[in-house]
Chain A
Amino acid sequence: NAGVTQTPKFRVLKTGQSMTLLCAQDMNHEYMYWYRQDPGMGLRLIHYSVGEGTTAKGEVPDGYNVSRLKKQNFLLGLESAAPSQTSVYFCASSSGTENTGELFFGEGSRLTVL
């Protein structure tokens, strides 16, 4: 049972390069999220999706774009990477059922922007 899978796990970019992080879940969850985690700042929500074809901004959306073309996949794109985007990125999903609220996380993608 894979749960939430993120690729790649590690990536090094130069300033100005673009890349896409892929998140895939096999639990038929409606809701998917992208968070970034920085030392001392906890997890901050970048973008989220409440269903296939929908996306919405979170707390720190600038510099990122997302797409949810298929229910099981949620892509996070960086069009022009900046050193401030060096972070660990986590994808999560939830069923969206009221009063469950449990988030299932991937193992993270560590991105370094030089």
Chain B
Amino acid sequence: EDQVTQSPEALRLQEGESSSLNCSYTVSGLRGLFWYRQDPGKGPEFLFTLYSAGEEKEKERLKATLTKKESFLHITAPKPEDSATYLCAVEVNFNKFYFGSGTKLNVKP
């Protein structure tokens, strides 16, 4: 059975305190792994796509990496505006996506 698990469920950081979020997956035939950001009361917003093990993508303070079994979203020197829920999703059939339950990040000033 295809599964996507994110950890931790919630993470509290002080401003400037770097950390990583984890997304582990057990799927047959991974086509791509995606990271989204979701603010309260809003729909998810696309951040990154990763297609193969070893691939990395960066955007401002965020960097996503991919191995054969998991992906990490590294947050370097976070700011309060980085507070949000971060969702991981995998594409296992063409244009069919399965989501993890998310990590709720709170960055305190």
8 Å CB interface, B34-67 against A: 34, 36, 41-46, 49, 51
A78-105 CB mask vs B (1 if < 8 Å, else 0) is: 0000000000001010101011111111
CB distance from A50 to the nearest CB of B (A): 7
CB distance from A110 to the nearest CB of B (A): 9
A31 at interface by CB-CB < 8 Å: yes
Tell me which of A42, A100, A106 has the highest count of chain B C-beta atoms within 10 A of its own C-beta: A42
Q: List 30 A-B contacts (CB under 8 A).
A: A35-B99, A40-B9, A41-B101, A42-B4, A42-B87, A42-B99, A42-B101, A42-B102, A43-B44, A43-B87, A43-B99, A45-B98, A50-B95, A58-B96, A59-B98, A90-B43, A92-B43, A94-B95, A98-B94, A99-B51, A100-B49, A101-B34, A101-B95, A102-B49, A103-B36, A103-B44, A103-B97, A105-B43, A106-B43, A107-B41
Asked, given contacts A94-B95, A96-B95, whether A101 binds B100 with beta carbons under 8 Å apart, the answer is no
Residues of A within 8 A of B98 (CB): 45, 59
Q: Which residues of B contact A (CB under 8 A)?
A: 4, 9, 31-32, 34, 36, 41-46, 49, 51, 87, 89, 91, 94-102
Residues of B within 8 A of A31 (CB): 95
A10 to B51, CA, bound (A): 37
Contact of B97 with A107 in the complex, beta carbons under 8 Å: no
User: Chain B: which residue is nearest A96 at the CB level?
Assistant: B95
- Which 7 A/B pairs are nearest by Cβ-Cβ distance? A105-B43, A42-B101, A43-B99, A42-B99, A102-B46, A101-B32, A105-B44
